[in-house]
Amino acid sequence: MKTIRPNVPRYGSPVTSLLLLCLCTIASPACAEDSPTPGQFKHQITGLFMPEREQDLRDAFKKLPQFKLVSIDYANAEVVLDYEPAKVWPGEKPEKYVGRLNDDLRNVSRASFGVKSLRTKPLDKLKLVEIPVVGLDCKGCSFAAYEMVFKLPGVERATASFKSGKVTALVDPELTDSSKLEEALKMGGVEIGGQPKP
Amino acid sequence: MCRLPAAIGFLLLLTMPSANAVAQEPTAFLSAHCVECHNAELHEGGLNLKALKIELSDAENFANWVKVHDRIASGEMPPKAEPRPPVAAVNEATAWLKSSLIAAELATRQAEPRTGLRRLTRTEYENTIRDLFDMPGIALRNDLPADGSAHGFDNNSDALDISHVNLAKYIAAAEHTLNLAIATQPRPPASKVQRISLASQYIIRVVLHGGDCVLLKNKQPDPDFPPPGEQAHLGLGPHGQMDSYSNECSVGVFRHEDESFNPYFQEFATIYPGRYRVRASFWSFGWDKGKVVPARGTEAARLSAVQLTNDGRGGGHPSYVLGYFDAPPNKEQVHEFVTWLNAKETLGFNAGSLAPVVNYSRKGRAMAFTGPGIASDWLDVEGPLHEVWPPRSHQILFGDLPLAEFKPDESKGVKAPVRKQPRQEILGALNKVDPQTGACWTVQTEQPLADADRLLQAFLPKAFRRPVADEVRQTYVARVANRLEAGDCFETAMRWAYQAALCSPDFLYHVEPVDRLDDHALACRMSYFFWNSMPDDRLSELAASNTLHQPEPLKAEVERMLRDPKAQRFVDDFLDQWLKLRLIAANDPDRKLYPEFSGYLQDSMVAETRAYFRELLEKNLDASFLVKSDFAMLNEKLAVHYGLPDVVGSQIRRVSLPPGSPRGGFLAQAAILKITANGTTTSPVPRGAFVMDRLLGSPPEPPPANVAAVEPDVRGATTIREQLAKHRDNTVCASCHAKMDPPGFALEAFDVIGGWRDRYRSIGDGDPAPRGQIDPFIFIGFKLGPRVDPAGTLPDGRSFSSITDFQNLIATDSRLLKNLAERLSIYSTGRPVAFGDRDQVAAIVTKTQSQGGGIRTLIHELVQSELFNAR
């Protein structure tokens, strides 16, 4: 299995993008390959904010027959895909593959799923934050809460579910903390508090 | 005794018809009974007979002498307190005045025809284009300048002036018409069926989040989109991404349309104007804090055609109602109809029968709300529907000439027709333009001038509503020839000719012979009377065979035309003007005093009056039904408003009234009662004046300029009757108010919106008001003030104590039928009823009465009369 790391974050500034690109180029041997060989690739998935979304992800990949979904790791928001980049995007530069995959997945999922480069920061350097929330048991509302948190700098992974009554986030403590997340949620109309359900 | 003025004596010099030679000039009569008050010193009623000259060729002077005649003839003058003149003297005086006035009128009339040259009103123009081109919904009227009004109607020649503004608008209207009429593709636009959920619109999504609407699945709250409660739904975008709105749910609506909430089915917006089939599924339900429960009854959903402006963003776009549709309790009903839709039109929805409830700002939102809702399952739009291609509108212009691709290489020196490519201009609309090939298609001919002549020979008589002389047609053919020489293609050259024809006086004006109408003019007079539009083929054929004027064919045609659905145009247009229905929305009732008023109620009011007149026509009922009836035309909304039970649904139908009910006739119809009120209060004066003028044909004199109007007291301290009593102390006012006030007093039994009342509503002093028939979801803030007194005394001394008493008194008044005859005459001929026409009107009325007095009979007699058949 290979990892393809080069990626230009969709909403990143040009400078940030360039830095990330350089970092990924150094860190990943795979991206040094001019023409990746057919095989399996692991990617981080955005939009996988509650367990029910696994089925949505499978449905989305059914609309992309050029990719075979091998496995979903919900806890880490990662998937393993089997595909041949050179066949899927003939003539495309390898460093553009993740971006192209991201576009394809967004197109078939109303932009609710996306692909980004794998996490680079070790897990022990990240902190899990859990925020109790109150709201309607509604996938759209949960997604809204997820987006409020996930788009913040320093958030590597997030989940949101009003059914379970909590928003979780794996954050880089150097960049953000629980209070910033709560502030973002309140700004978005989310009521903080209540008792999380098991 | 005052001396008579020299002017009176001058009357002797007027030429009198020999038939009236026995009548003597009324010098002695006027001297004995009139001049004592109507002189320079006393100037009673603003009339000084000593100074009134005899210049009957002058319109104002003529009108004054007509009043003198009428006052004496009716017995109103001399006043009751004065000695009564002998009957013979009255007859002699009025006969003399009458013959003099008629003689003067005939002398004036010789100089010009009775009905002046008049152009089409904008309503007639639109209907004529619709019928001529078989485009039954093309919208032109509102782009034309508003017409004036004279003698109560806008189709009177005195009101129909024309200016360069009109002409510019006619040119634009003709161009628009031809753009829609001419086929520009070899095949019709693809007819598609598009299913639309109300939830597809942005504003519905907004209110879904706030709890004024809910998503329903299998007639229960959608578990995937729970009703908002303590928390509202978060962001619209994420819900759209999660597909929350399009999972085949129905939308349950609690909120009535308002300034910031205009639901549209905006995923569809017309690209290709034409006929569309609309199907929609509605049902009503009860809602109890998050649960669907049995509905309180059948509700009414309104669909309207909405003319989206610009790119369609926002709400409040111009619209017109397509209809109200039943939403039965907890079980869907599918409604289907075909309607014409113009470019950029979509369909609007309103929970018409619901009270203006909002949840989004209340604690607990939908989860705390208990009340009625209307569910919209879906709406299908199918079209455009074309039975034939090219469409009839194209065939009228180009017959069977083939459409072929215009190839510049093969048409050297010929300019291609200008085409505006259709496109979807409305944001959010999913219906798209058909695939474009880029080819330009147009009509082809091998012999352009011969075909032009042939096509114009068929078109011009239809458009001009009569035979067209060869030399007239040749001027249009010459126009085509000029354009062809200038390098235009055949289609473009013909468009010049057609546009010229549609802007010509022959099309824009009612062209009638000077004296008696020929059969073509008669056909036009009939078609514009009953259909507000041009004659159809059958009528034109009868005119061409010169048999239309014969009594039997004429009678048969009247029957056929009244049975035709287009006769509804007559009912609508005539009532709009006769009974002022056009003014129904002139004011909005005060929300504190009349919180139950709604658009649905207002639309139902107008529908009642129209349906009632239609019923009188169809059943040939007599004129007493104008004011008194044993049935009414009602839907549920009106029945509840009137306090009548057992009427369910939005459709107007005939309902028998319980004994003693005042409803039914025009006097007690909510539309009339609203039109004659100002939105806040009622006054017997305008209501009485309306009855005198519009129903009895005896309009009161306008109020003196220096007398202040009576302002009703909404604080509830004094009644309008008390204020009017003071007003009548002024002798200048007393004589007119004695005639005008009694009908108004009787109508005091009805409030501003036509509801029954025993006590006036008040926003100041008063007692708490019971809810009565008012929707329990409407807040009541008004109180009950002084009691209503609907009693009065007619000028002839007869008293009444209630509206039903009053109805009984005037139901037998012969003026009802006479006035209707006059109104119909004015409307159908485009000219006022002249003094000399009175005998003819009387003859029509007499003939009608001898056959039972039915209104349909009256129309037959009118059409058969010399009055109708003469210009």
**Same structural domain for residues B273 and B381?**
yes
Does residue B165 lie in a domain region? no
| pLDDT band of A194, cuts 50, 70, 90 | confident
Inter-chain CB pairs, A–B, below 8 Å: 61
**Shortest Cα distance, chain A CAs vs residue B289, angstroms:** 15
Which amino acid appears at position B42 of this protein?
L
**Same structural domain for residues B98 and B204?**
no
pLDDT computed for residue B732 by the predictor? 64
**Same structural domain for residues B793 and B834?**
no
Decide if A189 and B229 are in contact by the 8 Å CB cutoff: no
| C-alpha closest to that of B238 among A110, A10, A50 | A110
| B175, two tokens | 């161009």
| C-alpha closest to that of B303 among B320, B317, B286, B285 | B320
B363 and chain A in contact, CB less than 8 A: no
**pLDDT: is B94 or A148 the higher one?**
A148
Q: Domain limits of chain A?
A: 2-116, 123-190
Report d(CA A169, CA A176) in Å as an integer. Answer: 11
Lowest mean pLDDT of B64-68, B240-244, B730-734, name the range: B730-734
Helix (H) or strand (E) holding B510: strand B509-510
Backbone angle region of B43, left / alpha / beta, with phi > 0 → left and psi within -120 to 50 → alpha: left
Instruction: List residues bridging with B347 in a β-sheet.
Output: B305
List, in order, residues 6 or more apart from B271 with CB less than 8 Å away.
B189, B343, B422, B423, B424, B431, B432, B433
Backbone angle region of B714, left / alpha / beta, with phi > 0 → left and psi within -120 to 50 → alpha: alpha
**Same structural domain for residues B835 and B849?**
yes
- Domain tally for chain B? 4
The distance in angstroms from the start CA to the end CA of chain A is: 35
| B181, two tokens | 């009429």
pLDDT in tens, B89-139: 888 888 888 888 888 888 877 767 777 889 999 999 999 999 999 999 999
Note the pTM of the prediction, 2 decimals: 0.88
CB B785 within 8 A of CB B713: no
Does residue B131 lie in a domain region? no
B231 and chain A in contact, CB less than 8 A: yes
CATH number of the structural domain spanning residue B370: 2.60.120
| C-alpha closest to that of B200 among B270, B257, B249 | B249
Q: What Cα–Cα distance (Å) separates residue B600 from each residue in B332, B562, B606, B607, B771? A: 21, 28, 10, 10, 20
**Same structural domain for residues B300 and B335?**
yes
**Shortest Cα distance, chain A CAs vs residue B715, angstroms:** 46
pLDDT computed for residue B75 by the predictor? 81
**Shortest Cα distance, chain A CAs vs residue B259, angstroms:** 26
> Could you tell me if the ipTM is greater than 0.90?
no
Coil, helix or strand at residue B555? helix
A114 and chain B in contact, CB less than 8 A: no
| pLDDT band of B13, cuts 50, 70, 90 | very low
Does residue B834 lie in a domain region? yes
**Same structural domain for residues B312 and B377?**
yes
The 10 Å Cβ neighbour count of residue A57 is 20
Report d(CA B120, CA B245) in Å as an integer. Answer: 49
A141 and chain B in contact, CB less than 8 A: yes
DSSP B693: I
**Shortest Cα distance, chain A CAs vs residue B232, angstroms:** 8
Give the CB-side neighbour count of residue B651, counting CA atoms within 13 A: 7
**Shortest Cα distance, chain A CAs vs residue B236, angstroms:** 8
Instruction: List residues bridging with B379 in a β-sheet.
Output: B196, B280
**Same structural domain for residues B799 and B824?**
no
Q: Which of B225, B230, B242 sits opposite A112 (nearest CB)?
A: B242
Residue B292 has pLDDT above 50, yes or no: yes
Last residue of some domain: B89, B109, B129?
B109
Q: Which of A110, A138, A190 sits opposite B224 (nearest CB)?
A: A138
List, in order, residues 6 or more apart from A70 with CB less than 8 Å away.
A40, A79, A80, A81, A82
Instruction: List residues bridging with B340 in a β-sheet.
Output: B275
Report d(CA B398, CA B444) in Å as an integer. Answer: 10
DSSP B660: T
Residue B312 has pLDDT above 90, yes or no: yes
Q: What Cα–Cα distance (Å) separates residue B388 from each residue in A26, B16, B187, B255, B393? A: 70, 65, 10, 43, 10
Fold assignment, A123-190? Alpha-Beta Plaits (3.30.70)
CATH architecture of A2-116: 2-Layer Sandwich (3.30)
The 10 Å Cβ neighbour count of residue A128 is 10
Last residue of some domain: B343, B367, B385?
B385
Residue B255 has pLDDT above 80, yes or no: yes
Instruction: List residues bridging with B571 in a β-sheet.
Output: none
> Within its chain, how far is the Cα of A156 from the centroid?
8
Decide if B243 and A110 are in contact by the 8 Å CB cutoff: yes
**Same structural domain for residues B289 and B369?**
yes
What are the start-end ranges of the E strands in B148-210?
Answer: 192-196
Residue B5 has pLDDT above 60, yes or no: no
Does residue B614 lie in a domain region? yes
DSSP A161: E
Decide if A136 and B240 are in contact by the 8 Å CB cutoff: no
- What is the pLDDT of chain B when averaged over all its residues? 91
Q: What average pLDDT does range B648-675 have in this prediction?
A: 97
Report d(CA B393, CA B467) in Å as an integer. Answer: 21
Report d(CA B734, CA B728) in Å as an integer. Answer: 5
Residue with tokens 């050297």: B412
| B383, two tokens | 């079209």
Closest residue in A to B234 (Cα) is: A141
| pLDDT band of B731, cuts 50, 70, 90 | low
Which residues in chain B are contacts of A136 at CB distance < 8 A?
226, 228-229, 231, 233
Does residue B546 lie in a domain region? no
Lowest mean pLDDT of A136-140, B214-218, B512-516, name the range: B512-516
Report d(CA B871, CA B609) in Å as an integer. Answer: 31
Coil, helix or strand at residue B642? helix
Last residue of some domain: B385, B411, B428?
B385
pLDDT computed for residue A31 by the predictor? 37
User: Which domain covers residue B12, as residue numbers?
Assistant: 6-109
**Same structural domain for residues B215 and B347?**
yes
Does residue B273 lie in a domain region? yes
**Same structural domain for residues B698 and B830?**
no
A139 and chain B in contact, CB less than 8 A: yes
| C-alpha closest to that of A20 among A105, A114, A88, A121 | A121
Percent of chain A beyond pLDDT 90? 74
Does residue B544 lie in a domain region? no
**Same structural domain for residues B863 and B759?**
no
**Same structural domain for residues B612 and B688?**
yes
Report d(CA B788, CA B749) in Å as an integer. Answer: 7
